[in-house]
Structure 1
Amino acid sequence: MWLDLLLRFPVNSQSTKIKRDTIMKTHLHVLNFFLVSLLMVTHTMAQDPVWTPLNGPEGGTSKTIAVDSNGVVYAGSIRGVFRSEDGGTSWTALNDGIGPYIINKLLVSQTGDVFAATYGGGVFVLSNDGSTWLRRSTGMINTSMQDLVEDSAGELYAATTSGGVHKSTDAGQNWQVMNEGLPKPQSFAVGISSRGDLFTATSRDGVYRYAAGDSLWRSVNDGLGRARGTDFTPTGDGDMLLATSQGTFKLSSGDTTWQRLDGGQNRTYFTSILLHEDGTMYGTSLSGGVLRFDAVNNVWETTGSGLQTFRVWDMAIAPDGTQFLASDNGVYRSEDDAATWLLFTEGYVVSKVVAMAVHTEGILFAGTEVSGLFFSDDEGVTWKRTRGLSGSLTRAVMVTDGGTVWVSFQGTGVFRSQDKGLSWEKSDNGIASAMVISLAEINGILYAGHQGRGVFRSEDGGDTWEEMSEGLTSKNVRAVAGMPEGNLYAAVWGGGIFRRQPADTAWTEVNNGLESINPYTLAINSQGHLFTSLAGKGLYRSKDGGESWQEANNGINDKSIFSIAIAPGDEILIGTLSNGVFSSKDNGYNWENMKSGLEVYRISSVLFGTNGRAYAGSFGSGIYSGDFAVVTSVDRTGSSAIPGGFTLQQNYPNPFNPSTSISFTLEQSDRVRLRIYDSLGREVATLIDGYRAAGWNTVAWNGRNTQGRVVPSGTYFYQLETENSGTLVRKMLLLK
């Protein structure tokens, strides 16, 4: 009843305020909590606009792979587990109960249980119905898991980073430490031979064996040298195979000296060894992809075509013989005995987006850390991998005013496309090595910041480059920016900020007021104000061309800022290490946190796109899109007149699923708070908390709460509260 009365009397006049006050006094005992939560929120609340995941770019690192007896494939990523029930063609996130941990090992037990060894969360087992994960870490002194194996009796053994080796005799319900004999409790791999001997590889002390019937670990390092063990694989005759950072080894049953499998010919960093039931031996590595062992000639041979990366972590074989690889850019499948490999990433989104750019025609380009460059011509709804490029570790992406697209890859160099990414040509003639980490176009001239060689310049569209690093005290250049009058600025790791004026022949240090000389990035707004982020110190601003700097962190509670984006209207976005995105509309004097809808808060890149869209590239969850446009002087019927008065429109569509738009009008510029409440009066989300211009304004709600979780079906209320015009409330219906 009380909420219906509120809806009948919106507060847009003095008389209705009096009527509402009378009602509220009469029902004070009912409205007490509502007054606190709905009307007494202070003006210092952070703006919390809604971000929507774009489900791309697809791909990203997979560290481990496992297949059960039914052919269901499980992939462990840097952000949880994915499952495929169609032979690896498409993937679904399977993270209920486990969270976004790094998955270092997946294990299908003899009884069919699926276990996940996580870094930081311990061991989890998949429930019987396959819908959620149950934690199994009781008794563990460290939950940073590196490896997990099962012996023939069903007992589990876990390797942990700083807790040593743990053992469970009850399917993971309880664990006991077994570190007797280990000099330090540091275990990075664990294995069990067919005769029951237990092995572990430590970080610095080599390999230890806990022989069947023994009571402590004993060193077995003869023959290994300085090689660090990464994976154990038992043979059927009691021998043990070992993958290491310097090749592969074998320890014969009962022996104490390791022998190189191939006589030492291949000293590649091996990540795993797989021994097929037919006797074929495969190896995965971080520089050679997947290899097959030729026992006749005693040599490892690279096998298969189709891999787009040589960094492979794990391999598994399904009951029907299909082979799977866990790699740096996703999961590969082979159905012809490893002769050809195909990458399948549909639904597998764990990419780290390190750089983004938008073309004048609205095409988005996203560079990922390990999977290369992607583009989208439909505002991020679908993504495609660019073709014709040799490189996967993206460092910088840029679109020049003329529409040329540029990308830099670590190890392969700089490339350009003059047809919106359809074809590419190498364009780094004159740049000493392939370590360009920033690109910029300033007054028609191209600049490249190099990690180790300083700044390079091209005045012929990228055909040739020349170094211009005179005066820099360090040559690790993170960013280059410039002003229309010709001043150039460089953010130099280990040197701070440097300036080069048009008449100068060398760079000059301009660090007055900076607390650190380790900047991450650099940006300039339309007023010529400079912004830089310093490692661990947050954001700094200079309004005098770099002569002096002042801290600009009011409202920022995470001072590890990786990226800065400035809109044409000078709104600023920053991406932080652990607390999402912050926004400032007053030149960086005050900041508002905005992370609603983000599934991860580690943001590596931010970008203002077209049509009022902004984009946030994350560490391990792809790209998110947010609507930052404030539409004024627009009438839904097509009239250009500004609707009169203070109004709150009915949301559209209504009912809705999964998102809806809420519009309102203001007579004058005003401070606005627009919040969502459920039917019990509990706050669900804050969509706006800040100043909005007079006229028509629109904001979207995607049906998620402040924590980014999808809310259930039901009736919800949205309240518009202003500083000068009053408060209005309407209701809406979410149907699924």
Structure 2
Amino acid sequence: MKALFTTLTLIILLAGVTNSYSQSSDQINREENPEQTVLDNSPLAQLKKQIYEAKKNGNDVLHKQLTQQFANQYPEKIRNSVESFNRLTVAHQDGMKTAPFMQGDWGAGDINVFPRSIFQGSGVNQRVIDLEVDSSGVKYLGFITGDRDSLKIFRSTNEGVNWTQIQALVAGAGTMIQAFDFSVTDSANTFRLGFAVTVSPDANENDADLYWVSMRGDGTGARIAVIKPKDAGNGWKNPSIISDGWNYSAGATYWYVSYQRVNSGTGAGNQAAFSWTTDWGFTWEDDTTRNTFNDYYLSVNYNAYVSSDSLYVLLANDLTVTNANLRLMRIALGNLGTSTAWSQYNIGTANPEDQGELAVNRQNNQMAVIYRETFGVGAGNIRYQYSDHAMGINWTQGPDIAAFDNNEERPRIDCQQRQGAWRISFVSQSATYDTVVYMSSTNITSAFSGKTIVNPGNDCGLTPMPDVAGFRTGAASFGGGVAFSRFSSNNLWYDGSNVTPTDITNNSSLAGDYTLSQNYPNPFNPSTKINFSIPVKGFVSLKVFDALGREVATLVNNELNSGSYTYDFNAGKLGSGIYFYKLTSGNFNEVKKMMLIK
């Protein structure tokens, strides 16, 4: 019955959007084959490149000076955020916390995080649940309540066993929260959460303003400001947000927001918009990822390559109502905000694809896109593509994740920045029930495995996308968690499954001293083993540097128990030459040299 209801709903939605979203043959051709734009070499663009180079080189003083110089020379490019609280307010001030509604029993069943109805989403706006994890393993779970009057944020510090509400954002009288996304970043010895939230004056999700919210990892220090108010006849929709704080200091951290501009009356998209802040939301700059087309399901991410950083926006575009296609847009960070256009990669297949999400492995710069491939109304498979090529230019189709007779949909993907393990979730439908499925992989070029049913009684909500995230459960041991809504109650639930990466091995729990051994074999191509030991439990860093002292790989960057370990290092992405690997733990530091010969 549920599958029939979903099919009928989809047919009605398609019938309703045909007139609004249809595009001419000329538009279809221009969308698929965009004109190439010459690089901007104006004084503005040159200054932008200098700002980026200072950021990339870690020169925070020069970066700050050049950023201020840009603001002085081009004030029209900088937009001050407006601290407006008439439509969105903070419910809990600093120090005020709400006890969890219910505490579950880990291992004996799923955990009911919120025993009331949550928003079930509408149309293509199905991302109303967001699960994130900081680099210490603390989990954060955001969701919109059923009446859309608040966005609640919960936190768990014990692997999802107990959840505590740390903050709530409340819509003003008569207004509604329509969509949101958030991310977590390291900054100044604390964790900060950054949100992009759309809020409308009524139930019309196409008539919303775009808000920025930031807070500390415990919910304190919350600040709300308007990123961009709606303009005449248009609103903002489906935001996606990411920061580059993992790679940069607090003073050089940027936050990036991708979002859709839509006609307030029809909901038809007319721009994939982009904004970013260099000062934690006090000022904003704008760019345009694409104009004209109905681009939706936006997913933003960045990749910090050794030579340069790039920004990516994955989006779906319905060339015709029945033929949605994935597009990946890319721009070098140094070109952001200039007249240089975003590059476009048509990474889809011959069949319609949508519901895409982009993830990046910050350990080796691999990228992966998960999406739904459809074969007519009510029939979809889950597939993925990956890129291990510099700048994400070339993409390879991975093995099918789910290609069954029934319908699979609502895929999500995550690659936790400390470990490099990939995790996915999706929904598998049948005539009588919907199942949330979790899988994982430590090698994106092979396949996903460990298929696990997440939800009890196969009871999954009809429209909200479950979300998945990875986390650390102990020394060299990691897990994945999934948050989802149940159909029978529309409540919010959480469950978890573990996966252990294979690149680090704990050989013994006994170690008499700190040691770092010479890698073997040496020289090597492309893999080698690095043995080390630590006598006491503590934070361990094992990094690789090139001959110029630039960090090229982070192998270990987390707390380990005492013992001896072996790390299997694969340098397949590096060129031939001399490299140095450095072990740091407590007061111990040691560096050794190795040679890669290809």
Give me the TM-score of the superposition, normalised by structure 2.
0.30
Taking structure 1 as the reference length, the TM-score comes to 0.25
Q: Which has the higher helix share?
A: 2
Q: Going by fraction, where is strand more abundant, 1 or 2?
A: 2
Q: Which has the larger radius of gyration?
A: 1
